[in-house]
Amino acid sequence: MPVWAWRYIQPEKTLDDTETVVIDLPKGELISALKVKVSADNVSGGNTGKLIHDLVDQFQVVAEGRTPLHVLPPWAEDYIYFVEQGEFPPHVFDETGDATQRGEFYILFGRGLGDPEMILDTGQYKGVQLRFKFELDTSYFKSGSGKLEVLALVPFVTEGVSPKGFVRRTTLLTRDTVANKEYYHELPIGLPYRRVSLRVYKSATPISSILSKIWLRLNEGKIKYFEYNIAEWLQLNKYLYRYPIDIHAVRYRSNSANIATPLAELEEVDPVVGSANPYTLAVSAISGNQYTLNVYDAGGSAVTTASKILEAIEGYFPWHCISIIDEGHWGAPFPSTQYTKVEIAETESVSDAEITPILEEYAPLKI
């Protein structure tokens, strides 16, 4: 059996406020995953406007300077980690002044951590690099506080490791919905799919209010699979994955604060005062990913000064993502090459929601 270990490929370094990060991956190495740690310190007055996720555009793993092996934004890395590992990554969300926000992003090349068959073999290429653009917003984070560490999960003992390929993950074009319209997302064909997912996002709007139906459209509509209404899709996702999930955060808010969370469907919100103040907290409304927090003092008056609030939420669909094609649902990798055209079709209920497909393909060791 293989034994896996995290190996540093970039010890902690301070980032420029605006920096294009380029890191050479070790040559001739088998890599199951990369762990990218990004952190920055909030300004002294608190930060309720930006997450650590907002400082990175997308993580790219590129071979020989031109061949993309992996291209995902931070929110998609979180979703892939959740569906493969069954938990949300251990980020530190903290809005209080001078606190350090920490992101721990996992770039997976297999079917979860430590996959002995689906793995990135950098020896197949002349060179492989991790690239991303870091841009620190000094209205919310302290200048010069950005930091980076990168580790690779490699087999310390290689017995049982038998590389057959890797899972290539990318996002496709983002588009805005149009109410009462059908739209077809055309997918690349040529490699079998492990999973195809959609990010369905509009602030404070449940996924069930954005789309009414989704199906798989094949060969110009001659074949249809999985023509389900949105309620059935949401229920299927709850069955396939380890829901509900818990996420914790530290908020810095006052009365009547509208708080957006990473979960598209909130089931439970438990805020607790994080200071000695005898405040009473109440959640007055939940809509999609958002809830309204009311804060009262001992006399029942609204508190207008921001205070430290400990938040625990429970719910579904991190970063508003649901899966449409899944190897576990289909029973095998989806054979895209058997069709002349593969599309994800949807009926849209509202306008101006963002839809982004996430494609996961089984790729050979070298592409």
Sequential pLDDT tens for the chain (367 residues): 899 999 999 999 999 999 999 999 999 999 999 999 999 999 999 999 999 999 999 999 999 999 999 999 999 999 999 999 999 999 999 999 999 999 999 999 999 999 999 999 999 999 999 999 999 999 999 999 999 999 999 999 889 999 999 999 999 999 999 999 999 999 999 999 999 999 999 999 999 999 999 999 999 999 999 999 999 999 999 999 999 999 999 999 999 999 999 999 999 999 988 666 779 999 988 999 999 999 999 899 999 999 999 999 999 999 999 999 999 777 899 999 999 999 999 999 999 999 999 999 999 999 9
> Are residue 97 and residue 186 in the same domain, yes or no?
no
pLDDT for residue 330: 79
> Are residue 276 and residue 356 in the same domain, yes or no?
yes
pLDDT for residue 275: 61
Domain span at residue 278? 172-367
How far, in Å, CA of 287 to CA of 282, rounded?
Answer: 15
> Are residue 49 and residue 186 in the same domain, yes or no?
no
The DSSP secondary-structure symbol of 241 reads T
| Strand pairing category for 307-318 and 245-253 | antiparallel
> Are residue 181 and residue 75 in the same domain, yes or no?
no
Choosing from 106, 136, 164, the residue where a domain stops is: 164
Q: 169-188 b/e with 16+ CB inside 10 Å = b?
A: bbbbeeeebeeeeeeebebe
10 Å Cβ neighbour count for 59?
A: 22
Choosing from 164, 192, 221, the residue where a domain stops is: 164
Q: How many domains does the chain have?
A: 2
> Are residue 191 and residue 134 in the same domain, yes or no?
no
**pTM for the full model?**
0.96
CATH code of the domain in which 233 resides = 2.60.40.3940
pLDDT for residue 128: 98
> Are residue 48 and residue 77 in the same domain, yes or no?
yes
Alpha-carbon torsion (48, 71, 2, 8), positive or negative: negative
> Are residue 195 and residue 318 in the same domain, yes or no?
yes
> Are residue 138 and residue 207 in the same domain, yes or no?
no
| Strand pairing category for 30-31 and 257-260 | unpaired
Tell me the sheet residues that pair with 287: 290
Q: 105-124 b/e with 16+ CB inside 10 Å = b?
A: bbbbbbbbbebbebbbbbeb
> Are residue 196 and residue 76 in the same domain, yes or no?
no
Alpha-carbon torsion (11, 12, 13, 15), positive or negative: positive
pLDDT for residue 329: 77
> Are residue 105 and residue 154 in the same domain, yes or no?
yes
Choosing from 144, 164, 184, the residue where a domain stops is: 164
pLDDT for residue 298: 87
Are the CB atoms for 252 and 306 separated by under 8 Å?
yes
> Are residue 216 and residue 345 in the same domain, yes or no?
yes
> Are residue 65 and residue 47 in the same domain, yes or no?
yes
For 330, residues 6+ apart whose C-beta sits below 8 A from its C-beta are none
